[in-house]
Structure 1
Amino acid sequence: MIDLYTSTTPNGRKISIALEEMGLPYQVHAINLQNDEQYAPDFLKISPNNKIPAIVDSDNGVSVFESGAILTYLAEKTGQFLPTDTPARIEVLEWLAWQTAGLGPMLGQLNHFLNVADEKLPYAIKRFSDEMIRLLGVLDKQLAKHENVAGDYSIADMAIYPWSSAAYDGAKALIGTSFKNLETWHETMAARPAVQAGMAVPDV
């Protein structure tokens, strides 16, 4: 059994998608970020960076924080969605790192300056809007070569989809056109039953 500590954010939904795809039993612990539950001492024991998601694997007592590490752990635990062949494995890990180091942080900053900051700073909004469009363009070009992000369906797809799908309509409105390959991939991802189930976690 996996205990999943999560919230209604793209980072959290990566993990619930993976758990659904891998068929692992899990129990959801919703963390209310608005109530600062991520700073609770018990949660900090498993997530010292006070961020969701985090997991505890009751099979062995292992706890893991940071979404990229969790996805890698779950893939290795189940032997699914992460190739063992070195070139294919590296490609998946490259795109997983691309999401955790690039797409997620840049979209998070854009959301902050658009929707959270008291002062709307045009420079910051333009900077992160431009980077969002650039990153989605990179992804669109990659999807022109592959049906999935890194060849076979993998944890890279699970990591990227909750973020790119949240940003897509805003990006399309800004540039006035579609990312055709990305749009097709989004439709394919959204049709997967495990993705649908994972995107509905937590149910709050």
Structure 2
Amino acid sequence: MNKDYPVPAGYLERETEVKKSRFIARVAPVSSREEVHQWLEQAHKDHPDARHICWAYQIGRPGSAAEAAMNDDGEPSGTAGKPILNVIQHKDMGDILVMVIRYFGGIKLGAGGLVRAYAGAAESVLSAVDRVVQQPVTPARVTMSFADEQPLRHWCEVHGASVDGIDYGTSVLARLSVPMDKLEAFTQFCNAQKLDYVLET
């Protein structure tokens, strides 16, 4: 799927403390609800004694996300999931899950304090995580001889294309993802090398 919007570059964790309560914020890139559940399961395994594991996510383009959800996990309604989601939306990132794991420190924070604590925890991890923008790509298939494989791999490395799979039979079939702004160069390369290619647009 083409993603020309910022997404988290990877998993990151940051911890903050508010009045003896520990808030462990985790950010992870996600592209489906199944991935969200996997990350949440992992958080529960890692922190079985945590009082709350609150979270929010949005999948799709920031500002018009295909799917978004949040959960207060036992905190007063609107004091955890919503502040986390608000910070996510403010950061303008898509395909993102933020979980905040809370260990209660014995001092009640009140509704306003909880909102500030959860928003602050989300902010701490989102300010630290790197973003990546995945450029739009076009799938391509190339049928070639064994001798042509290395030159093709080299072209892909130089031009930022990825080799998604190679099938070896009587000839070699390569499945590629070619950046859309490199399609003309790709076409020229294939024609010059006399490679049989199909763009799956």
Structure-1-length-normalised TM-score: 0.25
* Bigger Rg over Cα: 2
The structure whose residues are more often strand, as a share, is 2
The structure whose residues are more often helix, as a share, is 1
* Higher relative contact order, structure no. (Cα contacts within 8 Å, ≥ 6 residues apart): 1
